[in-house]
Structure 1
Amino acid sequence: MSISIKCENVLKKYGENIVIPDLNLEIKNGEFFTLLGPSGCGKTTLLRMIAGFNSIEGGTISFNDKVINEMAPGKRNIGMVFQNYAVFPHLTVKENVAFGLQNRKVPKDEITKRVDEMIKLVKIEEYKDRLPENLSGGQQQRVALARAIVINPDVLLMDEPLSNLDAKLRIEMRNVIKEIQNEIGITTVYVTHDQEEAMAVSDRIAVMKLGIIQQIGTPQEVYQRPANIFVASFIGGTNVLSCNAITKDGKNHVSFSHAYEEDMENLKVNINSDKIPVKVSVRPEEFIIVESGEGIEATVTSSIFLGINTHYFAELETGEKVEIIQESTVEKIMSPGTKIGLKVKKHKINVFDSEGEINYTKGDAHEV
């Protein structure tokens, strides 16, 4: 049975050091929810509070509206998967998977049935009699995943489970994890600092910074309409330009240079001033390369050809440096020193206040 999880005014501190000041969060029944952020942002601390491994200095954490602050970890019916696998080296695959069921005094016939079902689900049947030393990292992580969910937990907690795997295995295992979570429908809380991983597996993402949630949303929402510059820069990376918002003929415009501006009918605020400074987030794929003399003047400084896309790095006339991603074509790749113009896909970009804390942009990020 899956559950919903609610955190209300949660406080975590070590002595006088406040790690999580006042956190509110609700995770839906059966949801794959990811806590994402840089090292030290409090994501693992929060996960361990949900698990019962860390104390709670204030507020409440509830499973299905039942407060669990004082409940022992063993009573919370959780499954845990760690980054170091934590499989028992002296036990075979099937013995590892059976361990939690044996501790719960499940009948032997039932253990055999559930272990067989689980190792089949995670696709490690052929390794069931092997010891962990004879398994790859990905195979060991499948064992850890099977052991965590064979006990039918109410919630699955995963702390950086793929960080010890190489790039190819990470992609393979994140697909395995998402497929299994979809199949069994278990509420999952996943911790990672890898934004691509978070985007690939999550129903919703909470982006954290210094113990504070900056934004909660679907991968698409967080990527396309980030709440602030921190989120925009952490999710996918972006170019942040210093521009001006202006009013012309009663309409909002953003001025990118003395020769290039775009009307922005999708701003939440009316610019009741001749000019106010703003920060504009332009993701690399949101630039349009045009002829020199149009748009923002720029000079190509280098390029990287990656098959389907070419990444260009350029310096703007303002001295700002930007990255541009363009779909590769049969045309020759531009060499360093090439003068170009840049325009933007105005319905995709995000306009923030001068501090980068408030997103002035509204609506879906689609081209009209």
Structure 2
Amino acid sequence: MSVTISFNNVIKKYNDKPVISGLSLDIKKGEFFTLLGPSGCGKTTLLRMVAGFNSIEGGEITFDDKVMNRITPQHRNIGMVFQNYAIFPNLSVKNNVAFGLKNRKIPKDEIERRVDHILDVVQISQFKNSMPENLSGGQQQRIALARAIVMEPNVLLMDEPLSNLDAKLRVDMREAIKLIQHEVGITTVYVTHDQEEAMAVSDRIAVMNSGVIQQVGTPREIYQRPANIFVSNFIGRTNIVERSLKKVDNRQVLIMDENYQIDLDDITQYAEEIIKVSIRPEEFTISDTSEGMAGVIQHNVFLGINVHYTVQLSNGENVEVTEESTLGEPLEPGTEVKLLVNKEKINLFHYESEKNILEGDSYAK
């Protein structure tokens, strides 16, 4: 019921213009795998290639060891969930979910058993005899999910399935989808441009840009150790600043400003040059000592758990800083502060290639 999916040097062209060039990737059996990236990056194109809706101009896509390039969509045993649900408004919940099984001429008692089971899994059994128009958007999305899963596909494909829901319902549904996918164990390929959504549901994520995979990893790996500047900027919020890296008495030292330097333990190959530094807002600490980068609070935003500050540094740069609101009253604009940096959580990038130059994973320390 579940397969591995392999992309081997896959190529896709539109009017002889390459959209995806030589992409290779392996998705594990039973994995919840997300294709994440901005609009036009190629993620939906790649999903449609898995489904068989888009042709493949080069390379191979395999399910386990079976090449799927010329297999028609109806013979790939896939389930699909779209952002518009595609529910039949004239059929009850039960009959919507049973629709595909009836087309396959499955025995009536088997249909009843499978439909009842999947409605329990997606937690809408109580609406079995209801019409879709009487249900919420989240409940309709569960119908679409049940209808795809009840067919017992080898692969479940989901294209921006939550984009039509309001913010709170999106959070509820992404948690539900994650639990349901783990319960049924189907290899799932999920497409979204929403970074937070991808982080919440995925076992692993492939971040794409312009048809090229920038990085593949767990949500933690991608957030904490991005492979390049694009990934660092795309996943979550961050501050990118240019700083000097120097060798001082056989130590690698990052010069944050004239009064604040950071010793680095996990970088050895760069002696002295300008680099780019990524610092997430939560990795700054507003210091109550004389140590740190000097700055002035420009404005603050209270967001319940956190307070977001914009701080102008002494060199004129503005950085975002996040602190827990439990630390006291928000600091007012005009307040002079010193900022410390959690050196274990910063990322350093080569100035020209913009690739991460850190060694190892200091987050495990």
Q: Identify the match of residue 305 of structure 1 among 299, 302, 305.
A: 302
Q: Identify the match of residue 336 of structure 2 among 323, 339, 342.
A: 339
> Residue type matched to 1:37 in 2?
G
1:331 to partner: Cα distance: 2.3
Structure 1 partner of 2:269: 270
RMSD: 1.3
Assess if the C-alpha contact under 8 Å between 2:87 and 2:144 holds in 1: yes
1:307 to partner: Cα distance: 2.1
Q: What percent identity do the matched residue pairs reach? A: 60
Structure 2 partner of 1:351: 348
Q: CA offsets per residue over residues 49-88 of structure 1, 9 Å max, x none?
A: 0000000111100000111000000000000000011111
Q: CA offsets per residue over residues 189-221 of structure 1, 9 Å max, x none?
A: 000001111011100000000000000000000
1:356 to partner: Cα distance: 5.6
1:243 aligns with 2:243: yes
Distance 2:136 2:238 in 1: 36
Distance 2:335 2:359 in 1: 35
Q: Structure 1: any 5+ residue segments left out of the alignment?
A: none
Report the CA distance shift for 1:330/1:291 in structure 2 as closer, same or farther (over 3 A).
Answer: closer
Query: Secondary structure in 2 aligned to 1:61?
Result: strand
1:280 to partner: Cα distance: 0.4
Assess if the C-alpha contact under 8 Å between 1:253 and 1:263 holds in 2: yes
Q: CA offsets per residue over residues 249-275 of structure 1, 9 Å max, x none?
A: 1111111112111011112x4223xx3
Distance 2:262 2:47 in 1: 44
Structure 2 partner of 1:168: 168
1:320 aligns with 2:310: no
Query: Secondary structure in 2 aligned to 1:366?
Result: helix
Distance 1:79 1:313 in 2: 46
> Residue type matched to 2:291 in 1?
E
Distance 2:354 2:187 in 1: 31
Matches within 5 A, 1:178-197: 178-197=178-197
Query: Secondary structure in 1 aligned to 2:71?
Result: coil
> Residue type matched to 2:67 in 1?
V
> Residue type matched to 2:358 in 1?
T
Assess if the C-alpha contact under 8 Å between 2:300 and 2:308 holds in 1: yes
Distance 1:165 1:27 in 2: 28
Q: TM-score when scaled to structure 2?
A: 0.97
Q: Structure 2: any 5+ residue segments left out of the alignment?
A: none
Structure 2 partner of 1:49: 49
Assess if the C-alpha contact under 8 Å between 1:246 and 1:253 holds in 2: yes
Assess if the C-alpha contact under 8 Å between 2:92 and 2:129 holds in 1: yes
Assess if the C-alpha contact under 8 Å between 1:279 and 1:356 holds in 2: no
Distance 1:83 1:290 in 2: 46
1:17 to partner: Cα distance: 2.1
1:16 to partner: Cα distance: 2.6
> Residue type matched to 2:82 in 1?
F
1:106 aligns with 2:103: no
Assess if the C-alpha contact under 8 Å between 2:291 and 2:338 holds in 1: yes
After superposing on structure 2, the runs of 4+ consecutive aligned residues of structure 1 that deviate more than 4 Å are none
Assess if the C-alpha contact under 8 Å between 1:10 and 1:23 holds in 2: yes
Q: TM-score when scaled to structure 1?
A: 0.97
Structure 2 partner of 1:9: 9
Distance 2:345 2:218 in 1: 17
Assess if the C-alpha contact under 8 Å between 2:224 and 2:363 holds in 1: no
